[in-house]
Amino acid sequence: NYVEHYGLLREQRPDGSYVRVAPRHSWNSDHSSSNLFLYHLQRHSDHHANPLRRYQTLRTMEEAPQLPAGYAVMILLSFVPPLWR
């Protein structure tokens, strides 16, 4: 969950509420290994936009930010903050 949302912010409205969740608020990772082993977890933005959609039918959302590597690499990198730059 940490890797899927890191650095992405939802704007806060003047009344204190937040804007509705959109594809730009969660990272995707269109890497085949993530797709194969994590049951379309890399299509995280579609999961937030359509929470009742079954994982088998989650879609890639072009407007969603993309992680620079697959989930396995990104999880390992999350343990070494100096490498984030």
DSSP-based three-state secondary structure for 12: strand
Q: What pLDDT shows up at residue 81?
A: 85
Is the separation of the CB atoms in 8 and 83 below 8 Å? no
pLDDT at 2: 66
pLDDT computed for residue 43 by the predictor: 81
For the chain, how many structural domains are there in total?
Answer: 1
pLDDT digits (tens, 9 = 90+) for 31-49: 776 666 766 667 888 888 8
- How many CB atoms sit inside 10 A of residue 1's CB? 7
List, for residues 2-18, the tens digit of each pLDDT value.
Answer: 667 777 888 999 999 99
Which DSSP string do the residues of 23-36 spell out, in sequence order? GGGS-B---HHHHH
Dihedral sign for Cα atoms in the order 69, 73, 79, 80: negative
Question: What would the pLDDT profile of 55-77 be if each residue is shown by its tens digit?
Answer: 888 888 888 898 888 888 888 88
Q: What whole-number distance in Å separates Cα of residue 62 and Cα of residue 78?
A: 24
Domain that holds residue 41: 2-84
